[in-house]
A = this chain, B = another copy of it.
Amino acid sequence: MVADHYAGDAVAQQILDAARHQFAMFGLRRSTIDDVAKRAGLSRITVYRRFSTKNNLIEACLTRECRFLLRELDQALGELPTMEDRVVEGFVVSMQYARGHPLIGGLLRVEPEVVLPFLTVNGGPALVALREYIAGHLRRGQSAPDDADREPEPVAELMVRIAVSFLLNPESCVEIDDAEQCRAFARRYLAPLIGY
């Protein structure tokens, strides 16, 4: 699971809720920490004490949304019978979540140059967190003894990279917003990665 530094901090959650609203309505570029403080009904000092820069606040906000996705995935995939099914539905659910999310797909459309660094060159921690989440699932799914020396991290990372790539550039021979095409693509090209 993505580490949650602010889990027990009600004020931080209040700030992140306000930031989520602020960024979704006005974008990242024009929003200031002061705007977020005002929206949260808190003093600037209180906000700055937890998030010293706007970039810190944006990162914490996106990391929390990422954690919400993992919670949704746990619910959506828990009952599925096979690891293949979980990979396929996990891809479909993640694409829908991210493409439709106001702070991810939404901001990518309206101010790509501001949000892109958080999803690429500065996206290392989120990529690692998502990779570890998937790798954990893949590892628990390994049962045969010959699986023991197989590290699931590269496969998990590939799955995250492919999903992020479709998010960043949906121009594709696959209609990724069509759930059936998205599912068929994942079934044919992503599910077999489990076997590597």
> Is A168 in contact with B127, judged by CB distance below 8 angstroms?
no
Cβ-based interface call for A188 (8 A)? yes
Cβ-based interface call for A82 (8 A)? no
Knowing A185-B154, A189-B155, A193-B189, the reply to whether A120 touches B168 (Cβ < 8 A) is yes
Query: In the assembly, what is the distance between CA of A36 and CA of B173, in Å?
Result: 36
Query: In the assembly, what is the distance between CA of A196 and CA of B173, in Å?
Result: 16
Counted per complex, copies of this chain come to 2
Knowing A112-B121, A116-B116, A154-B189, the reply to whether A128 touches B171 (Cβ < 8 A) is yes
> Is A158 in contact with B169, judged by CB distance below 8 angstroms?
no
CB distance from A173 to the nearest CB of B (A): 4
Knowing A113-B113, A120-B112, A193-B189, the reply to whether A165 touches B161 (Cβ < 8 A) is yes
Enumerate chain A interface residues (CB-CB to B < 8 A).
108, 112-114, 116-117, 120-124, 127-128, 131, 151, 153-155, 157-158, 161-162, 164-166, 168-169, 171-174, 185, 188-189, 192-193, 196
A-B contact pairs, 23 of them (CB 8 A): A112-B117, A112-B121, A113-B117, A116-B116, A120-B168, A121-B168, A123-B169, A124-B171, A127-B169, A127-B171, A151-B173, A154-B185, A154-B188, A155-B189, A158-B162, A158-B189, A161-B161, A161-B165, A161-B166, A162-B162, A188-B196, A189-B193, A192-B192
Given contact pairs A113-B116, A153-B173, A165-B165, enumerate 8 new A-B contacts (beta carbons under 8 Å).
A112-B117, A113-B114, A120-B168, A120-B169, A154-B189, A155-B189, A158-B189, A164-B165
